[in-house]
Every structure is written in structure tokens, then in C-alpha cells.
Structure 1
Amino acid sequence: MINPDEPYEVQIAKQAKIIEALINRAERGHEVGGSAYSLFESAIALQTAVWEKTKDLEEALDTLDRASSELEIARQAQERIQRNLADAMVAMEGGFALFSEDRLQVCNAQFRNLLPDIEPLIKPGLEFDDYLAAVNASRYLSPDLNGVIGRAQLLLTGQRPGRRFSSFVMVLRNDRWFQISCRQTSSGNIAVLQTEVTDIVRENRREKNRLIDQHTHFLQAAFDHMSLGICTFSSRGDLLVRNERFGELLGVPLALLKKGSRFQRIVEHVERHEILERKGRRAEFAGWFKALRRGATVQERLRRRDGMSLDIRIHSSPDDGFIVSIMDVTKETEAAELLEQRVVERTAELTEANRLLQIHANEQAQIEAALRQAKEAAEAAHTSKTRFLAAASHDLLQPINAAKLYLSMLTDMVDQPAAEDVVNRLNRSFASTESLLQALLDISRLDSSAAEFNITSFDLGRQLQGVVEDLAPLAAEKGIDLRLVPSTRWVTSDQRYLMRCVQNLVVNAIQYTEQGRVLVGCRPRGGRLRIEVWDTGLGISEEDQSRIFNEFTRGGGVGKGTGMGLGLSIVERACRHLDHPIRLISRPGRGSAFSIEVPLAAAGCVRAPPIEKAEPALDGSLDLIVMVVENDADELHAMTQMLESWGASVLAAGSTAEAATLMQEFGTAPDIVLVDYQLDDGDNGIETIRTMRALAGDEIPAIIISANRQRQFLQLCNELSFAVLPKPVQLSRLRALIDWNTRARVA
């Protein structure tokens, strides 16, 4: 019924009401009950309740006494704090005031007496903004600082939540300086401190003046030791600082160079005595002042009477004054005049040299015209040579190709040993003629500036295997052990020319080795691969090693039947164009080792074309329909006879139109087309194959027989899925290529 958290006075009043109610209840029970026992019982209960309430009342009175004692102690502590604060405020050197809820609560005498005209306003309850406004309007403030307090007021009132501290300096008229610091406490009160900083300010002034005097002394000492004449003037034109060099160079009396002398007087003295002149004329000093008033910089090159040249410059200074500098440039002027004289002389020399050069240029133009004509003649000759090579590649090899075909058939037809020997000799003669012609054509192509190379990455091991297998019969004929160290490396080069070079090296090794062996292998060297051909032959002497790569050059000690001396010349030319270094190691009587370094390449995953190698003719009849298109009647007849001897059915034509007509009359497409690239009247083998495929509506296998090795031609044949067989045709390769191209269709 009684809340112990309520004030003691309320608890005591509630207890009194409870006691009074109990007494009234007891009295009413006495009236109603009427029995002595019930009265006694009620009296006992009432007495117990009275004792309990009396006890509670005594405890409440004790608690009230303790609270009163604590309140008295707190009041005494507050009085001590107020006395200590008052003592501290009296003992403070500066003014102090405390504003609570933007109203003055307490301050010391220094705070009230700082500005006498606002002292009557400094009373408890004064608003902070009114205090700042009164200080800002005080007549005791220095006029230079008027308005500072107003700005401080805006800082504190407008930005009070974000700024809890502000400080500014207040200057009184009697040159006294005070720092006013306004700090906002965590409880929202504002404490204002007034600290006199007059001694600090005056000490700073003295230090500043001392530093200025010291800097002036240093500046003057620097001026005096400069070779440049320096003089500074105020905004009114009064001389401030100068050095002795200024007077020496200007040549005016020292009386005019005292501090405070007017710049106008110095100028008038110079004009009156004509001390300075400018290129034979009097110096126009009047224009200097106009330029200075515009803020420009004046620079003049003047000369004294004694011939000294002076460079005078006038600059504006930050204090609206100006600085005059004078420099002795006599040596520079003399050097410039001497240089000008030399320039005139040099100009005359250059004019004469230019005249001679013009004559030489005319002669050079005549020489260039002659050279141009010679170049045009050389280009015409080169064009003619290119046309010759193109014609030679086809026309010269055409009859050889036909002769080889007839010789092949003749070999199969001859039974008598004597006739067979004649045919074999005839075959070897034609092979030598073919080899010589191919070598001459290769050298001509490599010597041409328009030589083309097809640089690709390929599996070198497969190609070397093909070379070794092609030359194995030649080595076996001489009893030479030809071996290959297998390799899985890939290289980057022109496959045709690189393999031709390796083939020439192996052929040379076999020809120059009487007994022993020839070894072909590879060695990695960093990012390159060295292809090596070793033999146990005659070796090459040192004097022959320097000329062995020349045309028609053979090593000493061998007969004429060992070759034409063109193989190494082709190797040197091809490797030079391909940037493949060649290395030769040889000892006479011990053998030789040739090597070619080529760049390594990452192993590829593309399907490599079949290796063109000398394979024996396949057994069995060639049960195919073969379309042969050839403009040369002899070669067409020879090719037809050869194919028919293999068991093929041949459709022979001399042009694309004749082949199309023949195919339409025959009523079916051939199994394969063999066509020469160069036909008559602008016709070519590519158009023939396209026409055949268009008529058949199918990708008929095709082989182009040509001596053309241009890159664009080979790329086009590869894109159109044409096989290319070089002239003169090797019958073993022709038979193998026909079988390889038709095998899938027959199956």
C-alpha cells in the first residue's frame, strides 16, 4: 500500500491515514461485537498493527534524517565549490565568464573591467549574443579591428553545433592586445577567457624588426657583392637601396644616389649630360614611365660615351615601387658584333658554296637521270629475266617431261640386254639434264629480288625421313651406309627450299664418300635447331672451304662425274634468304660436317600432307577413268600411253573446252583429272578443274602438273583441294599420288 520510492512526507501521510482507519475499525467492532473476548481480540490486533506502523514510521523518520544530512552536506560542498571558483576567478590573470543557456552566470572583475563602456551591462543574466554585440560596438576597440567581434559572433551562433571552440584577437586603443577564447562545454555552457597577449605581440614586433634589419643588412651585403648594378625605388620614386656597382655603371655623382633621391632627378642628370645613348641616338627616358605605369617591364641596350655597353632593365616590385638593374654587356656586345661580322662573311662564303652546290646539283641531276635510265633498263632486263624463268619453268621442262615418259615406257618394252643398257644410259643422261636445268632455275629464282618463300611450321622429322628414303638407292649403289637419327622437332622455314638444301648436302656427302657412312641428325641449340649432315668422305681443304659455295665449284681429288658444282651454291643462296646460318667443319681424309640452323616451332596438331618420296610403282592394274588435259601433243601422247600401260582408261584433251565436250560425250565424270597448268590461249588447269567439277556436280580429285612454285599459286591450289606435282614428273610419285587421291572414292 505504501510505495517506498515515494517521498518520505507522502509515506508518513499514508501511514497516518492507515492508523486512523484501523482505530475507527476497532471502535466500530466494539460497538457491534459487545463481547469482552472479541474486544480483547480486536485490541490485540489493533495494538500489533499500531506497533508495525510505528516501526515503519520510525524507519521513515530515520531515512528522512539521513537524507536531510546528505542534502546539508551537498549544500555545504556546493558553497565550498562556489567559494573556490570565486577565489580562482579572482586569482586569474585574465578575464573569465561562464554563460549557461546563453546567459551570463558568473564572471570575475577582470572580465567586467576590460571595456569600461560596457561594464554596466556585465551582470548575471546577460545574453551571450548581447555581450558580443556590446563588445563589437565598444569605443575602446582599435579602429583597425572593428568588426572582428561581429564575425566571431556569427561563427559561434551560426555554426555552434559544428564548432565548439573559437578564438580571435582584440586590439584596444592603448595598444593592448587580448586573445578572446570562447569554448563550448559538453553540457552546452560557454566559457569565455580574456587573455592579454600584449607582451607577446610586442616581442614579435621587436623580433620582426630585428629580422627586417638583419635581412636588410644581408640584402645590402648581397647587393654590394653583385657585379650587377641594383637600385630600388619606392612607389613615389624615392631611392631606397642601391649598391656601389650601380653608381659605377651609371656614371652619376654620389650626391644623386643618396637614400631618398628622386628617380626623376637621376634621369634628368643623365639626359642633360648625355651620359647614355641608344645606337647613335639619345635615350628616350620619357617612355619608361609610361611603360611602368602600364605594369610593363622596360629593357634597353644603351652605350656610354666611353664605349661601354649597358643593359638596363626596370621591373615593378610588389609594393608598387620598381627595381632598376644595370649590367655591363660590353664583351657580349663586342662578341655579337664580331659574330655579326662573321655571319656576314660566312653568308658570303655560303652564297658562293651554294652557287657551287647548284652547279654540282645540276651535274648530279644529269647523273641521276642517267642512273634512272640505267635502272629502267635493269628493271626491263629483270622483267625479261622473270618472263624467261616463267617460260623456262614450263617450256624447257615440257619436252624433258615427255621424253622421260617415253623412256619409262621404252624401259618396260625393251627385253634385250644391250638395248636395256642403252635405255638406262639415256635415262641417266636425261636425269643429269633435268638436274642441271632444275639447279639453274633454282639459282635464277634465288638471285631474283622477287624471290618468294612460303614460311610455315612443319614436322622436320617426317621431311628428313622422306629425303633419306629418296636417296637410299643412291647410297646403296655406292655401298654407303646412309642413316637418320629420328627427330620429333617442328621448325619454321620454307619447307621446299629447306628440304632441297638438306637433299643437296646429303647428295654431296654420298658423292664425296667412297666408303663408310653418311649420318643425318638434329641438335637443339637454345631456340634453334641445327640440322647436321656428317660423312666419312674425302674432306675439304681450308683453301677449298672458302670457295666451295661458289657456282660450278667441286672439291679437289674427285672426278667430273661427281656433280656439276651447283648444289652448295643453291644451299648458300637459299639459307642466306631464309636467314639460316650455315656451318662447315672438315678435315681432309677424315670427312666433313655441314649444318643449317633453323628456328624451332611449337609442335602442331594439323594433319601433315603426304611425304613426296620415291616410292616404287604400285602393283596391280590402275582400274580408273583418268582425264588428261595437256596442250603439248607429244607429252599428251606419252602420258596417255603411260597411264594406259598401268591399266587406266584415259580421256585425252588439249584444252578446257575439249575436255568438257569429251566428258559430256562420255556421259560420266572421270575418277581423277590430270591437267597441265599452262594451256594455250590464256587457258589454265585451275579453270579446267573448276569446269569439270561444275559439270559433274562433285569434287572430282585433281592433280595439277606444273613447274610454277609461286606462293599465291600454291595457296590457291591448297584452298581448292588440288594436288600439285612438279615437272618433270617422277612416275613413281605420280602413281602414288593418283592412288592416294582416289583411294577414298574407290573404297
Structure 2
Amino acid sequence: MADTLINPADPPARQTEKLLQIAQALMRRVEQITDDGGAAYAQFQRAAMLEDQVRERTRDLEHALDLLNDSNARLAGANRAAEAARQNLSNAIETVQEGFALFDADDVLVLCNSRFGMYMADIRDLLKPGLAFDDYVQAVSLSRFLVLPPDATAEDWAVRRRRRHQDRHVIFNVQMDGDHWVQVSEHRTADGGTVILQTDVTEIIRLERIERGRLLDDQARIIRATLDHINQGVCIFDEARRLVGWNERLGALLAIPVARFRVGASFDYLLQRFAEVEFGEGMTGAVLNAWVNEGGIRPPLSFEVRRGEGLILAVFAQAMPDGGFVMSFTDVTAEREAITALSGANETLEARVMARTLELEDALATAERANASRSRFVAAASHDLLQPLSAAKLFLSSVGDDSLEGRAREALDKAQNALASVEDILAALLDISKLESGKAAVTVGPVRLDRLMAQLRDEFAPMAARKGLDLRVVTSGAVVASDPAYLRRILQNLIGNAVRYTARGKVLVGARRRAGFVRLEVWDTGPGIPEEEQDNIFKEFRRLNAPASASEGMGLGLAIVERACALLGHPLGLNSVLGRGTGFMLQVPLAEGGGPVMQAEPRPARPSAQDRIALLVENDEALRRAMVLLLEKWGVSVLDTASGEEAFALIEEIGILPDCLIVDHQLGVGMTGIEFIKRLHALHAPVPARLVTANRAPEVQAMCQEAGIEMMMKPIDARALENFLNTLPPPR
């Protein structure tokens, strides 16, 4: 009822006026009607309540009306903003200098500007929202303004265009009628749509033609033509990382617009394009940028990148002499895909490689057999030479020193010196043979220099004194890492040469400590070495017309020094001035963690070899007789045999186990010296033994170490033999 009295559409003032009129009418009605039962008062009460409800409803209507007006205002503002944004977008797209078109995820045209489809007036009427991409491509391929590539039809062009549309990023140039050029750049949006930009690059291409023709000389034009016709993308940068040359293939491989390539462009833009590709193993953008920034001459850089779903590019970067660099990009996708197809050819190739390998193995085996024959010859020759030399030395040692006087004593000394010279020459020949064959075994360990240099001083002091030379040895407490035997031999040869070829003055031997190594130096005041001969002195049998006699050497000392230093990795230097002298420098590394080496405790007094029994096994009769003569001179009872089999028979016959064993290694037919000693130790008790041999092969040394047998090298030194006997334990 109240709804019919008050129209909600009326303004609030009108509704209030109606409510006041209704209230006045109700009051008059109450005053006119008299009701004894109180009906009039009840009606008044209801009227008052109705008035409150009407007032509350009025307030609600006013609030609702305010909300409605606010919503309408906001909606109107939003509509104006949307219209403005739409107009701004349309204006922005229209102001773009390139042709612009947006296709949605279903490849349907959403919008485009008036420059889209430039130079193709016959398709402009088709470029409206709702146009399918396939229809757009078909229309372009049939346009009379499109210049098709040579030997290509409109259908071929359309197929290639649709295929390119499958990639996320595509850039290519299209030639139009009238020598106009349009670059098409196609990019995928986040929602699956496609943005196509068409840029007029006619002026760029024309200017590039003019610039090329004006600036490039004949050679540059040939190079440019070569770059444009090769199947690789090439770019050249100067030392400031600025682009100075490129070819069209580069833009196609890297999907970079032609407009971006200009002389003086920074390498950073190309590096940004690498962020969109996947680097191959071991390469990152940071590594590439570091290589470019390194500048100067640096090693070439080679890696692969993958762009899109299947394109694989092999990249090669090469520095140029002027500090710039050139990069080439090669499409190796086909090569990678052809690997499977080449499996059959690989089998044939592997067979050829195997055949060639077998040929090389045969040649290597032949060379190894020749080298082995040489080693066997050297070993056999050394054994045959050292046998009589050992016998001669032992015979001379057996001659009593007290029984000779005058000229006999002098002759004995000369004979011993001659044998020592022969022994030195033979040892040099053996050393140079082992070093050249590559079979020299070295054992690197800590070597204390003060002890070694003191021994060398004592060894060469008499020789220097006889020539009136001042030999000074400045010792050092450093501990170096080297092979003690070869290091001693190197210094022996250097000091020996210095003393031998210095007529007057002095010889200085010292050590200078440096960071991580010690430099050993040997200086003399000799005649010096001409510069043109300083390389020749390290050759075998080279003596530079020195005044030393043949008995003092054969010119092998420095050859041994050079090869031994190379084997140990010790750098060797030479400094010589004619008329003033020569200096040799040798760098030896310090031993790691090497503190001072403790001095060995002095050994107790050695017992006498008198009344000892020695078993001598030697197949050379002259050497065996000389050793028996020397041992018996020292009071040793000798049981001598020519073979291991005879020695076992003799021991079984007399039933006595000797106090020591002196056994030659090469005993002819039958067991070797090592086999004899091992078998005797197995059958009886361990007996102190020395294996006498001229064979310096690492294999023999290894077998002795494994069996716990010490070696005594030929020619035998009488003092070494005497020391062995004096170290025997007391008789039981």
C-alpha cells in the first residue's frame, strides 16, 4: 500500500512532502473519529510507526541513490579511460614507423596500422581484424608487387613463409617492386600470439651499396664478395670491440635485423643476442665476454650454440694481430643429423684405421726390437768390458803397498790411475747410453746439500791442488728434491770440467737459495767458451780443442749433464765470457716440508774380516782368481765356484754355511746370481750377500730390492768390498 502512495523514482524532497501530507491527513482522521474502545489511539500509534518506517526507508533510498550515482560516475570514467587507452594504443601503433600487426594465439589478425603491407597496395583491403594468417600469407605470395627469389614460385614462397612462422623469432628481407626492400621481423608473445613488424630498409640497402662502392677498394670488394657468398656468418670487430665488417648470412643465422648492423656498432648488442641461445658444454656468456675484453693476442675460442628447436651453430673466434677479432658462425645442424647416416662409413674408416694402427704397431715393435738389441748390446759389452777391468783392479789391489818402492810404486800408481780413467770413460758411455734410451731410472728424494758438497770438495781438492788452483766450495744446509746419484754425477762432471780446463786461478762452487728452489753454481777462471760453440759443448765427444788429454775424458761429461738435467727436470744455464771464465747454473727444487736432515750417528768400530768364510760364485776365471787373491790377502777363507749349481754341491759336500756370499749375476748357463741367493736363503738361513754385476738395468735393481739383496756394481771397488766384509756380524 505504501508503495502505491510513494513513488521511489520521485526526488527525496517530493517523497518527504508526500509523507507530511499523509501524516496530516491521518491526524485529522484521528481527531474526527471518536472511539470508546481506544481505536483512534491505536490508529494514531500505527501512523507514528508508519512515519518512522517511511523516514528510515527514505534514508535507505537516499543512500542507495548515492551509491548508484557513484557507480554510474565510475563506470562512465572507466569507459572514458578505456576509450582513451584504445585511442592511445591506436594512435601509438599508427605513429610507429614500421608496419605493425598483431595476430592472436589462433593466428587471427587483431589489429594493424596503415603501414602494414607497405608497397603492396593490392592486399590492403584484406588487412582487417579477423583475417587468418594463412590467408594473409597466401595474399602476399600472390601480390604483383612481391619480387620472388630466383627459381621460386608463389607457392614455394608461401610454404617457406609458413615454415618460418613456426619459429619464435624470425627475421628476413623481402624485395618489392621498384627496388624496394622490407625487413619482416616476427616475434611470439607470452600468450601465444604473434607480432609482425615490417621495416622499410630500402634506404639502408641503397646507402650500403653506395658506401661499399665508394669506400671499398678492389681487394676489399673481393673480400666482401667472398663473405657474402660463403655459407658462414662472419663479423669482424676492431680492438675497441666495434663492428667493422659482416655478411648477410650472419643476420639470418642469429635472427638479427639488418638495421642493427652498422659500422661502429658495439659487441654488447651481439652479446645480448647470445642470451636467447643455449650455449654448448663449457661455454657461457660470461666466458665469451671475458675473452673479448681480454684484448691482445689470445688463444682461439671454439664452441657451439643452439637456437630454437633444431638450429645448431658452430662458433669460432680468432684474435687478429691488431687486437681485434673475427667470429664465424657455421650451421652444423645437417652435420649433426648426418652422424647416424655415417655409421656405415665409420665402420669402413675404423677398419682402415685399425689396419693403419697395426702397421704402426709393427713399425713400433721393429723400433723397440732395435732399441732392445742396442740395450742388450750395451749391457753385454759393458759386462764383457767390466769383467777384465774388475779383475785388473783387484789384482792391483792385492799387491801389498809395503812391498813396493821407488819406480815399482810409481808404476803401480800409474796403472791404478789408468784403470780409474778407463772406468770413468766406461761409466760415461753407459750413462749416456741409458739416458739416450730413456730407460734411466731415477729415484727422487730429499738430498742434503752440505753433505754432498763436502764430499765433492774432498774428492776434487787434491786434483785442484796439483794444478795450483784455488777450489772454494760454499756449502748450504738446504735440502733439495732430486736423485742423489744423478745430482752427484752432474756436479762431479761440472766441477771436474772446471778443474780440468782451468790453467790458473780458481774454481768456485756454491748454492743460492731462491723462492722454492736452490740454484747450484760452478764458476771457473778458464778460457771461456765462444758463443757460437755454447750449444755444441753439450754434444757427445765434443771438447772444443781443450788442452786436456784423452785420458781425462772423451767429451761426454756435459752431454751427460744436459740429459740428466732434462730427465730430472732441473733447468740448466750457461754464462761464459772469453778470456774470463765460465759459469754453469743448475736449478733444483727444495724438498717439500723438508726441515734439516739429521746427521747419521757414527757407526761403531767394525769387526775384522780375519778368519771369515766367503762363498765366491763367479764364472769369469780371471776375475774369480783376482778376487780370491785379494780376499785371502785380507785373511778371508774363500770357497770359489763357477756356477750356482757347483756352489750348492760344495756346500752339501763340506756341510758348512759361509759367513757371506759374493755372487755374480750373469753366471752363464743355469741359474742367475739372484736365483742362487734366493734359493740358498730358502734352503738354509739368510746369509749377508752382495750381487756383483755390470747390468744397470732397472729390472735387475727391482728384482734385488724385492729379494732384499744389495748390489755391488762392476768394476768392483776394493774399498767397497772391504767395507762389506767389515760390516759382517760377529762370528757365532
Q: Fold-level match, TM-score > 0.5? A: yes
Q: Tell me how far 1:252 sits from its aligned partner.
A: 1.8
* 1:281/1:643 CA distance change after superposition, 3 Å: same
Partner of 2:519: 530
Give distance in 2, aligned partners of 1:516 and 1:269: 103
Q: In the alignment, is the contact (CA less than 8 A) between 1:512 and 1:562 conserved in 2?
A: no
* 1:241/1:391 CA distance change after superposition, 3 Å: same
Partner of 2:389: 400
* Number of aligned residues: 532
The question of 1:243 aligning with 2:233 is answered no
Alignment partner for residue 467 of structure 1, among 456, 459, 463? 456
Q: Could you list the per-position Cα deviations for residues 643-670 of structure 1 after superposition, in whole angstroms to 9, with x for gaps in the alignment?
A: 1111111122333333333333343432
The question of 1:574 aligning with 2:578 is answered no
Letter in 1 for 2:111: V
Q: In the alignment, is the contact (CA less than 8 A) between 1:624 and 1:648 conserved in 2?
A: yes
Q: In the alignment, is the contact (CA less than 8 A) between 1:231 and 1:325 conserved in 2?
A: no
The question of 1:663 aligning with 2:651 is answered yes
The question of 1:552 aligning with 2:552 is answered no
* 1:668/1:469 CA distance change after superposition, 3 Å: farther
Letter in 2 for 1:603: G
Give distance in 2, aligned partners of 1:316 and 1:558: 90
Letter in 2 for 1:626: A
Give distance in 1, aligned partners of 2:659 and 2:515: 49
Q: Could you list the per-position Cα deviations for residues 691-727 of structure 1 after superposition, in whole angstroms to 9, with x for gaps in the alignment?
A: 23223333x2222222333445435534544332221
* 1:590/1:298 CA distance change after superposition, 3 Å: closer
Alignment partner for residue 413 of structure 2, among 424, 444, 448? 424
Q: Could you list the per-position Cα deviations for residues 310-357 of structure 1 after superposition, in whole angstroms to 9, with x for gaps in the alignment?
A: 89899998999876666789999xx9x9999978xxxxxxxxxxxxxx
Letter in 2 for 1:214: N
Q: TM-score, normalised by structure 2?
A: 0.59
Q: Which has the higher helix share?
A: 1
The question of 1:494 aligning with 2:486 is answered no
Letter in 2 for 1:735: E
Q: In the alignment, is the contact (CA less than 8 A) between 1:231 and 1:243 conserved in 2?
A: no
Tell me, what secondary structure is at the counterpart of 1:388? Answer: helix
Letter in 1 for 2:501: Y
Give distance in 2, aligned partners of 1:303 and 1:422: 108
* 1:483/1:724 CA distance change after superposition, 3 Å: farther
Partner of 2:714: 727
Give distance in 2, aligned partners of 1:619 and 1:746: 10
Give distance in 1, aligned partners of 2:110 and 2:685: 109
Give distance in 2, aligned partners of 1:274 and 1:415: 126
Tell me, what secondary structure is at the counterpart of 2:122? Answer: coil
Q: TM-score, normalised by structure 1?
A: 0.58
Give distance in 2, aligned partners of 1:720 and 1:608: 29
Tell me, what secondary structure is at the counterpart of 1:627? Answer: strand
- Give the alignment of 1:433-472 within 5 angstroms: 433-472=422-461
* 1:233/1:386 CA distance change after superposition, 3 Å: closer
Q: In the alignment, is the contact (CA less than 8 A) between 1:630 and 1:653 conserved in 2?
A: yes
Q: In the alignment, is the contact (CA less than 8 A) between 1:277 and 1:283 conserved in 2?
A: no
Give distance in 1, aligned partners of 2:141 and 2:506: 110
Give distance in 2, aligned partners of 1:208 and 1:727: 109
Letter in 2 for 1:651: L
Alignment partner for residue 603 of structure 1, among 586, 594, 598? 594
- Give the alignment of 1:71-470 within 5 angstroms: 174=68, 176-177=70-71, 203=77, 206-222=80-96, 225-226=97-98, 228=99, 230=101, 241-252=111-122, 257=127, 279-280=152-153, 378-410=367-399, 412=401, 415=404, 417-470=406-459
The higher-RCO structure (CA 8 Å, 6+ apart) is 2
Partner of 2:238: none
The question of 1:687 aligning with 2:675 is answered yes
Q: Tell me how far 1:642 sits from its aligned partner.
A: 0.9
Partner of 2:342: none
Give distance in 2, aligned partners of 1:508 and 1:424: 23
Tell me, what secondary structure is at the counterpart of 1:508? Answer: helix
Give distance in 1, aligned partners of 2:157 and 2:411: 117
Q: In the alignment, is the contact (CA less than 8 A) between 1:624 and 1:671 conserved in 2?
A: yes
- Give the gaps of 5 or more residues in structure 2: 1-52, 210-224, 232-352
Alignment partner for residue 625 of structure 1, among 603, 613, 624? 613
Q: In the alignment, is the contact (CA less than 8 A) between 1:288 and 1:298 conserved in 2?
A: no
Give distance in 2, aligned partners of 1:114 and 1:300: 69
Tell me, what secondary structure is at the counterpart of 1:246? Answer: coil
Q: Tell me how far 1:552 sits from its aligned partner.
A: 2.8
Q: In the alignment, is the contact (CA less than 8 A) between 1:411 and 1:423 conserved in 2?
A: no
Q: In the alignment, is the contact (CA less than 8 A) between 2:500 and 2:548 conserved in 1?
A: no
The question of 1:675 aligning with 2:675 is answered no
Q: Tell me how far 1:502 sits from its aligned partner.
A: 0.9
Give distance in 2, aligned partners of 1:319 and 1:473: 97
Q: In the alignment, is the contact (CA less than 8 A) between 1:276 and 1:283 conserved in 2?
A: no
Q: Tell me how far 1:524 sits from its aligned partner.
A: 0.9
Give distance in 2, aligned partners of 1:545 and 1:314: 71
Give distance in 2, aligned partners of 1:639 and 1:243: 115
- Give the alignment of 1:26-37 within 5 angstroms: none
Q: Tell me how far 1:500 sits from its aligned partner.
A: 0.9
Tell me, what secondary structure is at the counterpart of 2:589? Answer: strand
* 1:109/1:675 CA distance change after superposition, 3 Å: farther
Give distance in 1, aligned partners of 2:594 and 2:159: 89
Give distance in 2, aligned partners of 1:546 and 1:443: 17
Q: Tell me how far 1:383 sits from its aligned partner.
A: 2.3
Q: Tell me how far 1:414 sits from its aligned partner.
A: 5.8
Q: In the alignment, is the contact (CA less than 8 A) between 1:627 and 1:670 conserved in 2?
A: yes
* 1:647/1:200 CA distance change after superposition, 3 Å: farther
Give distance in 1, aligned partners of 2:159 and 2:409: 123
Q: In the alignment, is the contact (CA less than 8 A) between 1:399 and 1:635 conserved in 2?
A: yes
Partner of 1:647: 635
Q: Tell me how far 1:568 sits from its aligned partner.
A: 2.1
* 1:639/1:235 CA distance change after superposition, 3 Å: closer
Give distance in 1, aligned partners of 2:102 and 2:190: 15
Give distance in 2, aligned partners of 1:463 and 1:535: 20
Q: Tell me how far 1:604 sits from its aligned partner.
A: 6.1
* 1:382/1:176 CA distance change after superposition, 3 Å: same
Letter in 1 for 2:557: G
Letter in 2 for 1:731: A
Give distance in 2, aligned partners of 1:300 and 1:542: 67
CA RMSD in angstroms, aligned pairs only? 5.4
Q: In the alignment, is the contact (CA less than 8 A) between 1:229 and 1:249 conserved in 2?
A: no
Give distance in 2, aligned partners of 1:515 and 1:288: 94
Partner of 2:695: 708
Q: Could you list the per-position Cα deviations for residues 198-231 of structure 1 after superposition, in whole angstroms to 9, with x for gaps in the alignment?
A: 7567545544543443233212212xx01x4636
Tell me, what secondary structure is at the counterpart of 1:598? Answer: strand
